[in-house]
């Protein structure tokens, strides 16, 4: 009997370990045929394909002929990809999938309820994703839609947003000064973050929605731990990236904790591990914490370490990009502040996030004439934006004191000037 019990215990342990140990199945060459149709109501000449962790600038452009497109994706890494279909005003509809040898097909139609893009999964991994998404929608979408409908009715009665927020929107709509406009947008972002954009009733609805969102996130984390497979690993990455892209940035701590419990030792070598460590690092890049050091090339290609430039000084770290108009407008507004305070010891370091080549960076530097040190982050080589919690944004601005402590993140020009008056 003792021998039987011991045998059963070993078998039980083995069963528990199945699917819980390291898994290298993500690393295999896959040729995935991607096909799709788009209705005539959306005149599209091309769609964009890229890994979900990348920016649109790096996407593969797939031509659309007579409402149809086709592309053979070849990859050695099983990770989430994103198909983007352009729509009005420079925005995109997008859908995510895993590349599989059986291929994947997409259909776009405005007649579809909800999202206009549908995926016809032809492989087991994408079928799992669709099944789990359907269960998630059944659990949460009706309740979320109910709150959103209530918000819509309140908005129609002009009772959703506070008067200060409505006044801010009016100022944005009438503003013709592009530098002033960036400060107004930053005020709007702050009102999003603090919840002060709402009336009392609007705040109550938002609180209900946020509570339901947290319930959804907990359920997703429990499901990820229960399945502990590649689709769950990818869904975790999807949620972390989504949290970074939201205006009111979501705290990644709970998903990072889920990663530590479930996925840290699984799928060794997968590129998501490195991305998650960058996101973990970004949790330390907030107000009150020390800045994150880095070494990047300047305009002459000379490696330059941030700490060697700013330690012991009051500094502004300006993360921007040549393709980010709002970032450049804000940076232009820093020039008068720099000229006013540099003799008192102010240091500004600009870092540009560029892709593929440096042509646009040099053109932007020539046109905007920033009079401070400028460094280059090429093709996200150091994942600097992710380390600073900027995700896929174009830029971010940080005020740093002489001890290296971050004093402010994305201040307005007026707030920055007030702080510099005190510090210098």
CATH H-level, domain 295-423: superfamily: Glutaredoxin (3.40.30.10)
- Residue 59: its pLDDT value, please? 83
Q: Tokens 């890049």 belong to which residue?
A: 285
**Structural contact between residues 263 and 255, judged by C-beta atoms closer than 8 angstroms:** no
**30-122 has CATH 2.40.360 classification:** no
Question: Where are the domains positioned within the chain?
Answer: 30-122, 132-160+198-282, 295-423
Q: Which residue has the higher pLDDT, 136 or 40?
A: 136
Cβ count near 106 (within 10 Å): 19
Q: How long, in residues, is the chain?
A: 424
Chain centroid, CA 334 distance in Å = 26
**Structural contact between residues 253 and 375, judged by C-beta atoms closer than 8 angstroms:** no
- Residue 22: its pLDDT value, please? 57
Same fold, 30-122 and 295-423: no
H helix or E strand, kind and range, residue 120: strand 117-121
Q: pLDDT for 139-193, tens place per residue?
A: 999 999 999 999 999 999 999 999 999 999 999 999 999 889 989 999 998 898 8
- Residue 13: its pLDDT value, please? 38
- Residue 15: its pLDDT value, please? 39
Q: pLDDT for 188-216, tens place per residue?
A: 988 988 889 999 999 999 999 999 999 99
Q: Which residue has the higher pLDDT, 253 or 3?
A: 253
Q: Checking phi first, is residue 352 left (phi over 0); if not, alpha (psi -120 to 50) or beta?
A: beta
Q: pLDDT for 91-149, tens place per residue?
A: 788 899 999 999 999 998 876 766 788 999 889 999 999 999 999 999 999 999 999 99
Query: DSSP 3-state assignment of 351?
Result: strand
- Tell me the two tokens of residue 364: 């932007």
Above 90 in pLDDT, residue 7?
A: no
pTM, two decimal places: 0.81
Strands 295-297, 60-63: pairing is: unpaired
Above 90 in pLDDT, residue 54?
A: no
Q: What percent of the chain has pLDDT over 70?
A: 91
Mean per-residue pLDDT, 234-249: 76
d(CA 368, CA 355): 19
Torsion of CA 282, 287, 290, 295, to 10 degrees: 50
381 class by beta-carbon count within 10 Å (0-12 exposed, 13-18 middle, 19+ buried): exposed
């Amino acid at each position: 009997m003792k021998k039987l019990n011991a045998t059963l215990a070993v078998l039980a342990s083995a069963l528990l370990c199945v699917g819980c140990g390291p898994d290298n199945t993500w690393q295999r060459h896959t040729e995935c045929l991607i096909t799709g149709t788009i209705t005539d109501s959306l005149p599209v000449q091309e769609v964009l394909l890229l890994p979900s962790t990348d920016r649109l600038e790096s996407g593969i452009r797939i031509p659309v002929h007579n409402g149809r497109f086709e592309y053979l994706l070849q990859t050695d890494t099983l990770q989430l990809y994103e198909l983007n279909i352009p729509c009005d005003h420079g925005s995109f509809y997008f859908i995510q999938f895993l590349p599989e040898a059986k291929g994947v097909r997409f259909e776009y139609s405005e007649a579809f309820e909800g999202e206009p893009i549908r995926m016809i999964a032809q492989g087991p991994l994408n079928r799992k994703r669709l099944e789990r998404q359907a269960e998630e929608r059944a659990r949460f979408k009706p309740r979320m839609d109910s709150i959103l409908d209530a918000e819509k009715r309140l908005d129609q009665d002009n009772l959703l947003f506070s008067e200060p927020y409505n006044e801010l929107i009016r100022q944005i709509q009438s503003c013709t000064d592009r530098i002033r406009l960036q400060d107004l947008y930053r005020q709007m972002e702050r009102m999003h973050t603090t919840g002060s954009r709402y009336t009392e009733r609007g705040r109550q609805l938002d609180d209900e929605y946020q509570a339901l969102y947290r319930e959804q996130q907990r359920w997703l984390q429990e499901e990820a731990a229960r399945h502990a497979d590649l689709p769950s690993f990818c869904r975790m990455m999807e949620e972390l990236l989504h949290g970074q892209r939201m205006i009111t940035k979501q705290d990644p701590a709970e998903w990072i904790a889920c990663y530590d419990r479930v996925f840290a030792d699984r799928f060794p070598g997968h590129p998501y591990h490195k991305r998650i460590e960058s996101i973990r690092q970004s949790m330390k890049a907030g107000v009150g914490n020390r800045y994150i050091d880095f070494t990047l090339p300047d305009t002459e290609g000379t490696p330059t370490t941030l700490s060697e430039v700013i330690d012991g000084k009051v500094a502004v770290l300006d993360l921007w990009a040549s393709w980010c108009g709002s970032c450049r407008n804000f940076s232009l507004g820093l020039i008068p502040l720099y000229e006013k305070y540099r003799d008192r010891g102010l240091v500004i370091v600009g870092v540009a996030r560029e892709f593929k080549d440096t042509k646009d960076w040099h053109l932007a530097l020539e046109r905007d004439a920033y009079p401070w040190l400028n460094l280059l982050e090429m093709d996200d080589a150091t994942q600097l934006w992710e380390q600073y919690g900027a995700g896929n944004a174009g830029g971010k601005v940080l005020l740093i004191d002489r001890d290296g402590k971050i004093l402010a993140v994305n201040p307005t020009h007026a707030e920055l000037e007030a702080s510099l008056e005190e510090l210098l």
